[in-house]
Chains A and B, each alone.
Chain A
């Protein structure tokens, strides 16, 4: 495994928690020749993760040190050139050694081929090199990953929160950040108001003489609607 020390490859670990489905992941397709050139060129820095990529996009794991070189090579020297950053997103796998995994998908308009890079980081202050100067499209996605996961990007020109308010504490998409659900409040009629005439409800509140709240009223049929109905 060619990853640098301290960096785990995302695919080699199973995720604890619920037992995975019994299905074995489908056999990985042989990686296409352009991935082979990438592997030949960078050798030790890259590896092929063992993980179920159900979409069939060829994937390589890259160490953070080599990330910028690989991106530059894909943009300028690879054949075909990868001239389009299609996707950049982060994921949090708390059980892994390097829990924050950032995924890049590059697209080649020449041959319409895609390649996916994965780069993981962890530790107290997770950080990755920024690729904004290689791909300006990476600007907002990197800010979003910083905002949502707390991964900082070295060399980013304007790294600050983008979706959450500036004074927000915590990183919402981390797994240890709670969803923040509030218990649903149900409406309770005020004391002294009309009480329900349903059986048993007088135990909760003093009974009132008015027929009441909670009772099902007969549908009100207006004269016009009635006339319409009889006409039909």
Chain B
């Protein structure tokens, strides 16, 4: 069976499909989807990261939110200083053993659902500082969703990490609960 070609229609009138599997019906502009997908779509495009600058990577994180790279294009520019208002913790920099309890406390203060992006080599595995003072990777303290390598990573790398995280959030199957899945790797 062959379908007749759709009638010509200007692009502006076409309904925008919801990314990744949303169904749209004909030309009426009605979108049908599941609650899971709708919530995931909304969450993914309004990430509120927490200002958690530790070291050098924090400077690149600021550069990412500033003029040239402009994180606002991806709906994640509302940096919050309070963990209670944020859902993404960007661990930007090396984590010392003195700071580790603070990081865990801040993570516990964040409301569910929450995600962690480990930015840079030091946060992921302590980088060039394999020594007594640093926690050898923040994944020993908090569960990490996205690893971004680099020392420090370029802002584009971190943006790639955030896009990968958005895809992950969007595909979250369980409503209201964080999906337990393997972390993803971004950038480089």
Partner-B contacts on A (CB < 8 A): 163-165, 172, 177-182, 184
In which size bucket is the chain B interface?
under 10
- Bound-complex Cα distance A164 to B97 (A): 8
Please tell me if the beta carbons of B97 and A172 are within 8 angstroms of each other in the complex. no
Please tell me if the beta carbons of B98 and A180 are within 8 angstroms of each other in the complex. no
Please tell me if the beta carbons of A177 and B132 are within 8 angstroms of each other in the complex. yes
CB closest chain-A residue, reference B98: A165
Nearest 5 interchain pairs by C-beta: A180-B132, A181-B130, A165-B98, A180-B131, A182-B136
Q: Does B133 contact A (CB under 8 A)?
A: yes
| B residues less than 8 Å from A180 (CB atoms) | 131-133
| A residues less than 8 Å from B98 (CB atoms) | 163-165
Please tell me if the beta carbons of B130 and A182 are within 8 angstroms of each other in the complex. yes
Please tell me if the beta carbons of B132 and A184 are within 8 angstroms of each other in the complex. no
| A residues less than 8 Å from B130 (CB atoms) | 179, 181-182, 184
Q: Can you show 21 pairs from A to B with CB atoms below 8 A apart?
A: A163-B98, A164-B98, A164-B133, A165-B97, A165-B98, A172-B132, A172-B133, A177-B132, A178-B132, A179-B130, A179-B131, A179-B132, A180-B131, A180-B132, A180-B133, A181-B130, A181-B131, A182-B130, A182-B136, A184-B125, A184-B130
CB closest chain-B residue, reference A161: B98
Residues 129-159 of chain B, each 1 if its beta carbon lies under 8 Å from chain A, else 0? 0111100100000000000000000000000
| B residues less than 8 Å from A165 (CB atoms) | 97-98
- Bound-complex Cα distance A136 to B98 (A): 26
CB closest chain-A residue, reference B134: A180
- Bound-complex Cα distance A181 to B132 (A): 7
B7 CB to nearest A CB, Å: 26
| A residues less than 8 Å from B133 (CB atoms) | 164, 172, 180
**In the complex, which residues 155-176 of chain B have their Cβ closer than 8 Å to any Cβ of chain A?**
none
- Bound-complex Cα distance A57 to B97 (A): 38
A43 CB to nearest B CB, Å: 44
Supply 19 further A-B pairs (C-beta < 8 A) apart from A179-B131, A180-B133: A163-B98, A164-B98, A164-B133, A165-B97, A165-B98, A172-B132, A172-B133, A177-B132, A178-B132, A179-B130, A179-B132, A180-B131, A180-B132, A181-B130, A181-B131, A182-B130, A182-B136, A184-B125, A184-B130
